[in-house]
């Protein structure tokens, strides 16, 4: 029996275990969530959370301490530039472990370990979503607010239709007048054409009278 066992050795030597946890921590910081066994996830939580706490204070000393564990410049930049600003207001508990069941091959318990502040589904779906307003309908007398608003809108629509009806009738009455004006226009043109004809008749009669006088 192993008394005073403070951490899980994961059936590995110290160098192998540290290299594995360093690689898993880098993958967690870059991908924000990884799938592994429950034992490794619990060991990774103890390994990575102190590093996340160090990243809150961006100093050269803290960067060197974190780099000695992660040994990757890309992971270090991602941690101090983006992840640190995301977890700045969280006092601890930066990771979450969700059990996924057993693996088919060796029946090992699997789990998903992720950064808490990057899961928008469990945080309430994000801040952009608006809350839906619910209205309650009652079958008893008095009606609800929605029914009263509908009745008010229907009354307004009825008034508008009543006001528009006389306007449409007035437009219909004006239309025959315009038609009459259009009919009078050809009549005036016909009168203008008759006037030159009358003048021609008068000139012909004058010519005949002059010829009679000449014969006399």
Amino acid 141: pLDDT:
55
Beta-strand (E) ranges in the chain?
33-37, 95-102, 109-115
List, for residues 23-55, the tens digit of each pLDDT value.
999 999 999 999 999 999 999 999 999 999 999
Give the integer Cα–Cα distance in Å for 75 and 80: 9
pTM above 0.75, yes or no: no
User: Residue 7: its pLDDT value, please?
Assistant: 84
Q: Are 111 and 102 in contact (CB under 8 A)?
A: no
78 CB contacts (<8 Å, ≥6 apart)?
A: 29, 30
Contact 144, 135 (CB under 8 A): yes
pLDDT band at 134 (very low <50, low <70, confident <90, very high): low
Share of the chain above pLDDT 70, in %: 56
- Residues 133 and 152: their CA atoms lie apart, in Å, by 20
Task: Identify the burial level of 72 via C-beta atoms within 10 angstroms of its C-beta, where 0-12 means exposed, 13-18 middle and 19 or more buried.
Answer: middle
Q: What domains can be seen in the chain, in order of their start residue?
A: 14-123 (3.90.1030.10)
- DSSP conformational letter for 132: P
At 74-110, the pLDDT tens digits run 999 999 999 999 999 999 999 999 999 999 999 999 9
């Amino acid at each position: 029996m192993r008394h005073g066992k403070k951490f899980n050795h994961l059936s590995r030597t110290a160098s192998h275990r540290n290299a594995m946890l360093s690689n898993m921590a880098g993958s967690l910081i870059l991908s924000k969530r990884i799938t592994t066994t429950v034992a490794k996830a619990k060991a990774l939580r103890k390994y990575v959370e102190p590093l996340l706490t160090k990243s809150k204070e961006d100093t050269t000393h803290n960067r060197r301490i974190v780099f000695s564990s992660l040994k990757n410049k890309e992971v270090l930049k991602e941690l101090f530039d983006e992840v640190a600003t995301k977890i700045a207001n969280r006092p601890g508990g930066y990771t979450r472990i969700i059990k996924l069941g057993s693996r088919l091959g060796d029946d090992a318990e699997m789990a998903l370990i992720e950064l808490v502040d990057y899961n928008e589904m469990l945080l309430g779906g994000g801040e952009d979503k608006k809350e839906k307003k619910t209205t309650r309908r009652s079958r008893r007398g008095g009606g609800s607010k929605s029914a009263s608003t509908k009745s008010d809108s229907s009354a307004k629509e009825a008034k508008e239709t009543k006001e528009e009806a006389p306007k449409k009738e007035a437009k219909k009455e004006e239309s025959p007048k315009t038609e009459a004006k259009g009919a009078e226009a050809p009549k005036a043109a016909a009168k203008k054409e008759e006037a030159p004809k009358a003048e021609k008749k008068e000139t012909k009669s004058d010519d005949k009278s002059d010829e009679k006088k000449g014969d006399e």
